[in-house]
Chains A and B, each alone.
Chain A
Amino acid sequence: MAIPKAKELGVNVATEPSMMTGAIPKKHWMDNPVTFKPGNYCYPGKKSIVEYHSKSFPGLFGVPREWEVESDDWKLPENWQKIIFEGMKERLGKFRSFKIFMDCCVRCGACADKCHFFLGTGDPKNMPVLRAELIRSVYRNDFTAFGKLFGRVANAREMTFAVLKEWFMYFYQCTECRRCSVFCPYGIDTAEITMMARELLHLVGVNTNWILEPAANSNRTGNHLGLQPHTFKDNAEFLLDDIETATGIRINSLTFNRKGAEILFIIPSADVFAEPGIFTFMGYLLLFDHIGLDYTISTYASEGGNFGSFTNNELMKKLNGKMFAEAERIGAKWILGGECGHMWRVVHQYMDTMNGELRKTLEVPKSPITGTVFENAASSKMVHISEFTADLIKHGKLKIDKRRNDHRCVTFHDSCNPARGMGLIDEPRYILENVCNKFYEMPENTIREQTFCCGSGTGLNTGEIMELRMRGGLPRANAVKYVEEKHGVDMLSCVCAIDRATLLALMEYWNPNVGVCGVSELVGNALIMDGEQARETDLRGEPLAGMEG
C-alpha cells in the first residue's frame, strides 16, 4: 500500500481537519457510515484457515467462506443479526465487565484523547468512549428499556450491516492497550469491550487473516510462522554461530524438548527468526550459559505469543494450554517466559484461571542461582525473564561490563500489556540501569502505566494498514523523537516481540536514526563470559564504542 512520506503525514496529522485539530464533524456519528478502501482494513481470513479453527470450535468462527471487505455482500449467514444478538446476550451473562461497562459510562470524555489511534487520526470513532458507543448503542436497542422506548434519542440503534462494518473497522483500530482504562473513573476498559466485539464478529465469520493464520500455525506447529520442529531448531542453532562470532564462545547449553530440564523456557517465536528479536534471543542464551542454567526450549510450545487472545477466549485458552502441558511432559519444575507483551497479558491474567487444571507437578519457582523464591508466581509457576534477570543482578551473580553498551544511547518503551495488564514496570528499568551507562526516560505521560502503544498490537501489524499503524504509533514515535533530540537516544529498548517488529517499522518511518532492541540483547552485550575473546562488536556485529573503524 502506498503510504505518504513521514514528512507529509506529519503535516497532515497536524493540519488536516480532524477532531484533533479542532474540526467538528457536521453529522452525528451514527450518520457517518464507514467506507472500506485499500489501506484501511486488514484482509479477511482465508477459508481454509477458518475451516481449520472451526474444526476445534464449531460455530465460534462463523461459516468458512471467501469474502471481500470492500464488497457489499459479506456473504453473512441469513440470521447473522440473531447470531450477534444471542452472542451478546451470552457474553453479558458471562462477563460482568461487559455488562457494567455497557451500563456505567457517563461520557465524561476523560478517555477521549488517551487513545493513540485517536491522537494519530483525529477520527472521533477512535475516541475510546465512542468506540464503545458503537456497540453500546446496539446494546441499548436490544437490552435496555430506554433504548427500546426512545430509540435514536436514547442513542440506540439497530444492528445493521452498516453497523457491522463500523465494528469491523473500529474494533480493528483498537490494540487493546488499556491506556483509556487508566483514566476512566470507573475503570471502563475499552480493550475488554473490543475483545467482546471481536468475539461477536468472529461468530458471523468477520475476521482477519493476519490473526487467524498465525493462530492456526501456533496450534499445529507450535509457533505462529508455522516453522516445523527441525526448522525451528536450525534457526535457533544458527544464532549460536553468530554468538560465536561476536564473543568467541561456542554455547553448548541450548537444548530442545529435553526431559528432566529444571526450567522450560518459552519465548515469542519471532525471537528465533527475525531481526532484531534474534539478538534478544542471543542475549537469553548468553545469560543462561553465563549462570549455568538447566533449561530447555520446546519446539512444541515454541510460541509464547498468543494470537488466540486477539480472537476469543476459547482459542486463547487452547493455545495457552500448551505451556503447562509441555512443562508437565518434560517434568520441568517451573516455566520461564521471554520478552513478549501480549504473551504476558495472557500468562499473567488468564493462564492460571484458564488452564490451571493442566499443571500438576510444577513447583513454586525458585531461582537455582540466587535461591530467590518468586512468590508473585506461586500459583501459576511462570516467571518473566526481566524478573529473573533483575534478581540475578541484584544478587551480583552476573559479571557485567556496562561500557559495552556505550555505543548505544537507550530509552525504554513500556509495552502496553506488561505495563497495564501485569504491572511489570521497574524490573526492566533496573536491568537497563545496570547494563548500560546511557539510559534516558521518555516524558512521564508517555511511559509506565501511561505508555503509548506501538500502534500495531493485537494482530494489527500487517502491511495492509501501514498508514494507520504509522498514525497510531505517532504518539510513541513522538516521545522517542523528544529524547532523541534531547539526549541523542538512538536505541529504543522494549520487552515485547511484537514491538520489536512494529517499533522497527515505526522508527524507520518517523525516527530513522533510532534502532530497536530487546532488553536481553543489551544484557547479552554486557555479559562478561568465561573464556570470551576481546569483544570488538556487539551481538549485531556492530563495533563497540572505542572500537569503531
Chain B
Amino acid sequence: MKHSFLAVIALVLVAMLGAQVPGLKSVFGVVIPWLAFVIFLGGFAYRVLQWGKSPVPFRIPTTSGQGKSLDWIKQDKYDCPATGAQVIIRMILEIFAFRSLFKNTKSEVHSGPKLTYESSKWLWLAGITFHYCFLIIVLRHMRLFTNPMPAFIAALEFGDGFLQIGAPTVYITDLLFVLALSFLFLRRLVNAKVRYISFAADYFPLFLILSIGITGILMRYFVRVDVVSIKQLAVGLTTMSLPAADVMDKIGTMFFIHLFLVCTLMVYFPYSKLMHLGGIFLSPTRNLANNSRMVRHINPWNDLKIKPHSYAGYEDDFREYMVNAGLPVEKELPKASEPEA
C-alpha cells in the first residue's frame, strides 16, 4: 500500500513541478496526453489480440442455473444460456449490472459448528456506483473536447446536476464517485480477507483514480481554473493543433496534475488488472452457450492421435476370462494375438 501511495504522490509532484518549467507545459499538456492515448489504445488492442490468439479449446460456461433440458423443465435462460441470444443477455447483465457479484454472500462460522450465509450486496453497490459514476464523468468530459457539445452530454450534465445546490452546481456523480471509491479503499483495509490478498496493484488504481477525482473536484469547486483555456487545449488535442502559449499560461497547475494522472491511468490501464474491462467480454465461463451436447464445439488443437485403449487390445488381454464368463468376444479362443498397450 505504501508503495502505491508514494507512487501517486510522486506522480503529483512530477506534474506540479513539471508544469512550472516554462517549456514543459506543452509537454505535459500535449505530448504526454497524446502519447498516453496512443499507448492506451495500442496497449488495449494488443492485450485483447493477445487473448484472442489463444483459442477456446473447450466450451466451459459456468452453469449458474437450470440448463436447457426437456421441454417442460424451465430453463434459467440468463444464468444457463443455451443460445447466442441468451448468452448476449447474460453478458449484458454481467457487464451492466454485475450480476454475478450481485449474488454475493457473506459466510460465517459460529459455534456448533454452524455455518451461515447471508446476502451481501455492499461490494456490488459500491462497485456499480463507482463504475457508473466513472462512466458518466468520462462522458461529461466530452463537453471539453467537442464544439458544439452533443445534446446527450448536455442532458447528462443537466441530470447529474439536478440537485441544483452550490455554485457551480454540485454533480451527484462527483459525490458518489468519491464515496464509492473511499468505500472500496476502506473495505480493502478493514476486511481482513481482502486486505490479506491486496497488494500494490490493488491500491495503486484506487489511489490514482481517487486523486484524479480529487484534483478534478478541487478545480471545479475550490481552486478555479480557466475553463475556456482548457477547452481550447482540449479541442486542440482532438485536432492535433498546438494552442497558443498564452493559453497554456492561463491554465492553472492543478489542471496539469489532473491531466498527468489521467495520462498515467491510460498508460497503466492495458498492463494492469484494469484490463478486466476487456476480460469480462472474453471470459469463457460467461460468454459461451451451455450447448456442448447440442452442437459440437471444435478445439483447434485437438490431438487426433490420442485414441482410447482399443477394444481389440482389451479383448486380447482378457479373452480367456471373457469366454469363460460367457461374455461375447470378437475373436474366438485360442487364437492368441499380440497384447497392445
Q: B147 in the interface, Cβ–Cβ < 8 Å?
A: no
Partner of B292, one of A10, A107, A188, A380: A380
Q: A494 in the interface, Cβ–Cβ < 8 Å?
A: no
Partner of A145, one of B63, B191, B271: B271
Chain B residue, CB-CB nearest to A122? B109
Which residues of chain A have C-beta atoms less than 8 A from B165's C-beta?
Answer: none
Task: Choose the segment among A18-26, A73-81, A280-288 that binds chain B (4+ C-beta atoms closer than 8 Å).
Answer: A18-26
Which residues of chain A have C-beta atoms less than 8 A from B327's C-beta?
Answer: 229-230, 233, 256-257, 299
Task: Choose the segment among B22-30, B150-158, B168-176, B294-302 that binds chain A (4+ C-beta atoms closer than 8 Å).
Answer: B294-302
In the complex, how many angstroms separate the beta carbon of A469 from the nearest chain B beta carbon?
16
Indicate with 1 or 0, residue by residue over B103-116, a CB within 8 angstroms of chain A CB atoms: 11111111111110
Q: Are B199 and A10 in contact (CB under 8 A)?
A: no
Q: Are B54 and A93 in contact (CB under 8 A)?
A: yes
Q: A47 in the interface, Cβ–Cβ < 8 Å?
A: no
In the complex, how many angstroms separate the beta carbon of A99 from the nearest chain B beta carbon?
5
Q: B178 in the interface, Cβ–Cβ < 8 Å?
A: no
Chain B residue, CB-CB nearest to A475? B115
Q: Are A259 and B328 in contact (CB under 8 A)?
A: yes
Q: B21 in the interface, Cβ–Cβ < 8 Å?
A: no
Indicate with 1 or 0, residue by residue over B52-68, a CB within 8 angstroms of chain A CB atoms: 11111111101111111
Q: Which of A316-339 contact B (CB under 8 A)?
A: 317-322, 325-326, 329
Q: A375 in the interface, Cβ–Cβ < 8 Å?
A: yes
Partner of A376, one of B52, B64, B67, B308: B67
Partner of B306, one of A24, A94, A321: A321
Q: Among A127, A318, A320, A425, find the residue whose CB has the most chain B CB atoms closer than 10 A.
A: A425
Chain A residue, CB-CB nearest to B294? A378
In the complex, how many angstroms separate the beta carbon of A407 from the nearest chain B beta carbon?
29
Q: Are B123 and A108 in contact (CB under 8 A)?
A: yes
Q: Are B310 and A426 in contact (CB under 8 A)?
A: no
Partner of B197, one of A112, A329, A356, A425: A112
Q: Are A220 and B317 in contact (CB under 8 A)?
A: yes
In the complex, how many angstroms separate the beta carbon of A548 from the nearest chain B beta carbon?
32
Q: B280 in the interface, Cβ–Cβ < 8 Å?
A: yes
Q: Are A445 and B117 in contact (CB under 8 A)?
A: yes
Q: Are B201 and A387 in contact (CB under 8 A)?
A: no
Q: Are A100 and B60 in contact (CB under 8 A)?
A: no
Indicate with 1 or 0, residue by residue over B223-262, a CB within 8 angstroms of chain A CB atoms: 0000000000000000000000000000000000000000
Which residues of chain A have C-beta atoms less than 8 A from B308's C-beta?
Answer: 318-322, 325, 355, 358
Q: Which of A415-451 contact B (CB under 8 A)?
A: 419-427, 430, 443, 445-446, 448-450
Q: Which of B180-229 contact A (CB under 8 A)?
A: 191-202
Q: Are B309 and A189 in contact (CB under 8 A)?
A: no
Q: A377 in the interface, Cβ–Cβ < 8 Å?
A: yes
Q: A506 in the interface, Cβ–Cβ < 8 Å?
A: no
Q: Which of B253-293 contact A (CB under 8 A)?
A: 271-273, 275-276, 279-280, 282-286, 290-293
Which residues of chain B have C-beta atoms less than 8 A from A154's C-beta?
Answer: 199-201
Given the interface pairs A185-B101, A228-B321, the reply to whether A329 lies near B311 with Cβ below 8 Å is yes
Given the interface pairs A113-B106, A185-B101, A348-B293, the reply to whether A376 lies near B113 with Cβ below 8 Å is no
Which residues of chain B have C-beta atoms less than 8 A from A10's C-beta?
Answer: 112-113
Partner of A106, one of B65, B108, B115, B276: B276
Q: Which of A122-174 contact B (CB under 8 A)?
A: 122, 124, 127, 129-130, 133, 144-146, 150, 153-155
Q: Are B284 and A185 in contact (CB under 8 A)?
A: no
Q: A486 in the interface, Cβ–Cβ < 8 Å?
A: no
Partner of A353, one of B294, B302, B321: B302
Which residues of chain B have C-beta atoms less than 8 A from A391's C-beta?
Answer: 70
| Separation of A10 and B272 alpha carbons in the complex (Å) | 42
Q: Are A353 and B292 in contact (CB under 8 A)?
A: yes
Q: A4 in the interface, Cβ–Cβ < 8 Å?
A: no
In the complex, how many angstroms separate the beta carbon of A291 from the nearest chain B beta carbon?
17
Task: Choose the segment among A175-183, A456-464, A519-527, A536-544 that binds chain B (4+ C-beta atoms closer than 8 Å).
Answer: A175-183
| Separation of A99 and B52 alpha carbons in the complex (Å) | 10
Indicate with 1 or 0, residue by residue over A486-524, a CB within 8 angstroms of chain B CB atoms: 000000000000000000000000000000000000000
Given the interface pairs A108-B123, A185-B100, the reply to whether A150 lies near B200 with Cβ below 8 Å is yes
In the complex, how many angstroms separate the beta carbon of B116 from the nearest chain A beta carbon?
9
In the complex, how many angstroms separate the beta carbon of B130 from the nearest chain A beta carbon?
12
| Interface SS majority for chain A | helix
Which residues of chain B have C-beta atoms less than 8 A from A258's C-beta?
Answer: 328
Q: Are A103 and B309 in contact (CB under 8 A)?
A: no
Q: Are B64 and A182 in contact (CB under 8 A)?
A: yes
Which residues of chain A have C-beta atoms less than 8 A from B201's C-beta?
Answer: 146, 154-155
Which residues of chain B have C-beta atoms less than 8 A from A145's C-beta?
Answer: 271
| Separation of A422 and B67 alpha carbons in the complex (Å) | 7
Which residues of chain A have C-beta atoms less than 8 A from B3's C-beta?
Answer: 153
In the complex, how many angstroms separate the beta carbon of A255 from the nearest chain B beta carbon?
9
Q: A109 in the interface, Cβ–Cβ < 8 Å?
A: yes
Q: A95 in the interface, Cβ–Cβ < 8 Å?
A: yes
Q: B13 in the interface, Cβ–Cβ < 8 Å?
A: no
Chain A residue, CB-CB nearest to B324? A230
Partner of B193, one of A109, A133, A423: A109
Q: Are B196 and A379 in contact (CB under 8 A)?
A: no
Q: B127 in the interface, Cβ–Cβ < 8 Å?
A: yes
Which residues of chain B have C-beta atoms less than 8 A from A230's C-beta?
Answer: 318, 321-322, 324-325, 327
Q: B160 in the interface, Cβ–Cβ < 8 Å?
A: no
Q: Are B284 and A108 in contact (CB under 8 A)?
A: no
Q: Among B65, B127, B311, find the residue whose CB has the most chain A CB atoms closer than 10 A.
A: B311
Which residues of chain B have C-beta atoms less than 8 A from A320's C-beta?
Answer: 308
Chain B residue, CB-CB nearest to A13? B113
Chain A residue, CB-CB nearest to B341? A55
Q: A96 in the interface, Cβ–Cβ < 8 Å?
A: yes
Q: B5 in the interface, Cβ–Cβ < 8 Å?
A: no
Q: Are A349 and B317 in contact (CB under 8 A)?
A: no
Q: B19 in the interface, Cβ–Cβ < 8 Å?
A: no
Which residues of chain B have C-beta atoms less than 8 A from A363's C-beta?
Answer: none
Q: B314 in the interface, Cβ–Cβ < 8 Å?
A: yes
Q: Among B76, B104, B280, find the residue whose CB has the most chain A CB atoms closer than 10 A.
A: B104
Chain A residue, CB-CB nearest to B76? A423
In the complex, how many angstroms separate the beta carbon of A54 from the nearest chain B beta carbon?
11
Chain A residue, CB-CB nearest to B323? A230
Task: Taking A11-B111, A185-B280, A378-B295 as given, write out 14 further A-B residue pairs in contact, using a Cβ cutoff of 8 Å, ordered by the A residue number.
Answer: A19-B196, A95-B56, A96-B52, A97-B284, A103-B273, A103-B275, A114-B107, A187-B280, A221-B314, A229-B327, A317-B303, A372-B70, A376-B291, A377-B294
| Chain A to chain B contacts (Cβ below 8 Å), 24 pairs | A10-B113, A96-B55, A97-B283, A100-B284, A104-B276, A127-B197, A133-B197, A146-B272, A153-B199, A178-B62, A181-B285, A182-B64, A182-B103, A189-B285, A230-B324, A256-B328, A259-B328, A314-B303, A321-B306, A353-B292, A376-B291, A420-B62, A423-B75, A478-B112
| Interface residue ranges, B against A (CB under 8 Å) | 3, 47, 50-60, 62-70, 72-76, 79-80, 82, 94, 98, 100-101, 103-115, 117, 123, 127, 191-202, 271-273, 275-276, 279-280, 282-286, 290-299, 301-304, 306-311, 314-315, 317-318, 321-322, 324-328, 341
- Which 4 residue pairs across A and B have the least CB separation, nearest first? A423-B67, A321-B308, A104-B279, A230-B325
